[in-house]
Amino acid sequence: MKEFVEKRHRLGLSQRELGKRLGIPVRTIEDWERGARTPSKWVKSLLMEKLDQMIREESKMTCTFEVDGTSYEFEVWENGQGAEVLVAFYEANGEIFSIWTADADTLPTSPAEAEDFILNLDWAAEDMSSLRREGFRPL
């Protein structure tokens, strides 16, 4: 359960805090981490999946910058196979629109970089469902 402990530490949670969030008695977590007990394979698999999800949620990659008077919210999406794309959401005429590009897989770090991204990258304006069909999800 070394990986379990590493992920708990990465989340910055005590055994008690993790137990509360997962609905698992703290004694059970203590026993797993000490090696006194071992969860079944399927329970361990579910635990690792849940911890990975919690880590992704904690480190969700987003930022917002204004370019030419329009506010863009940027997110990095991945497909679980190592491919990442940059997605930008913006509002126009009361509607939310989204665009995405495979030309960048990191967030802009400044207003100038955001402007460069918006003006110079090859953006796709198609429906986001195409990305979801290919397995892409927000990090």
* pLDDT tens readout for residues 44-96: 999 998 988 887 777 667 889 999 999 999 988 888 888 889 999 998 888 88
What are the domain boundaries of the chain? 2-57, 62-138
Contacts of 10 (CB under 8 A, 6+ apart): 55
2-57, what's its fold? Answer: 434 Repressor (Amino-terminal Domain) (1.10.260)
Q: How many CA atoms lie within 13 A of 62 on its CB side?
A: 11
CB-based contact 77:136 (threshold 8 Å): yes
Would you state the pLDDT for residue 127? 66
Alpha carbons 3 and 97: distance in angstroms, whole number:
40
What are the tens digits of pLDDT across the range 7-44?
Answer: 888 888 899 999 999 999 999 999 999 999 999 999 99
